[in-house]
Amino acid sequence: GAGVSQSPSNKVTEKGKDVELRCDPISGHTALYWYRQRLGQGLEFLIYFQGNSAPDKSGLPSDRFSAERTGESVSTLTIQRTQQEDSAVYLCASSLLTSEQYFGPGTRLTVT
Amino acid sequence: GNSVTQMEGPVTLSEEAFLTINCTYTATGYPSLFWYVQYPGEGLQLLLKATKADDKGSNKGFEATYRKETTSFHLEKGSVQVSDSAVYFCALKGGYQKVTFGTGTKLQVIP
């Protein structure tokens, strides 16, 4: 079946603009995660959804970052007033509640 | 809370050398343990997993055994290849909690 998909694959934006990143999880996966990975770095946890609720938003770096999930399916990560330090690959993963995660290919965000 | 500690890299080995990447964890209860791999320019993919104590996960010649007594899940391979060059992440998941990742260990295998 289809894996986790993310769009766009690449996004270049000017500093100060807002961006929306989309994640389509594997059908039936109730858990959804967003991570940030800076060049050559590890995974930085951002937010975790169970269904449409986010029990853990502890990783969102500032109030410029927000995420939502609807229909226990698609999720959107929004970054407002982007800064150069937001440049990174944003990874989405989904899973059944107690199983391993499946990762999408990521969205490479470049803020100029 | 849960945490994962893995050895810092980069690790550089010659082809056919023996590989060990150490991973230890702190968690309540009985988490599931995972190793993920990220090849250059690619996304993360699951390499192997173990869901209970003394389980051994294995895939592509890699192995890791869930050791509850030492809270460890070390990754091993008997003979590495150049194509194994990648970043390896140890991770755990406790029940309905979010997955916790280690910081990653970069492996470089030279011919």
Give yes or no for residue B95 having a pLDDT over 80: no
Structure confidence by residue, pLDDT tens digits, B72-81 = 999 999 999 9
Q: What pLDDT is recorded for position A97? A: 75
Q: What pLDDT is recorded for position A56? A: 85
Q: What pLDDT is recorded for position B7? A: 87
Residue range B66-87: mean pLDDT, rounded:
97
Residue B84: how many other CB atoms lie within 10 Å:
20
Structure confidence by residue, pLDDT tens digits, B24-33 = 999 988 899 9
CA distance B2 to chain A (A): 13
The DSSP 8-state label assigned to residue B72 in this structure reads B
Cβ contact A97–B32 (<8 Å): no
Structure tokens at A59: 């990783």
pLDDT band at A9 (very low <50, low <70, confident <90, very high): very high
Q: Are A65 and A45 contacting, i.e. CB atoms less than 8 angstroms apart? A: no
Dihedral sign computed on CA atoms, order B92, A65, B104, B83: positive
Residue range B27-51: mean pLDDT, rounded:
91
Q: Among A42, A97, A100, select the one facing B103 at the smallest CB separation.
A: A42
N-to-C CA span, chain B: 41
Q: Please tell me the least confidently modeled range out of A56-65, A77-86, A94-103.
A: A94-103
CA B110 – CA A31 distance, rounded (Å): 39
Residue range B7-27: mean pLDDT, rounded:
95
Q: Are B31 and B92 contacting, i.e. CB atoms less than 8 angstroms apart? A: yes
Structure confidence by residue, pLDDT tens digits, A16-53 = 999 999 999 999 999 999 999 998 788 889 999 999 99
What average pLDDT does chain B have? 93
Residue range B61-82: mean pLDDT, rounded:
97
Which of the residues B98, B101, B103, B106 would you substitute to probe the A interface, choosing the one with the greatest number of A C-beta atoms within 10 Å?
B98
Q: What pLDDT is recorded for position A1? A: 55
Q: What pLDDT is recorded for position B32? A: 92
Of residues B74 and B93, more confidently modeled: B74
Percent of chain B with pLDDT strictly greater than 70? 99
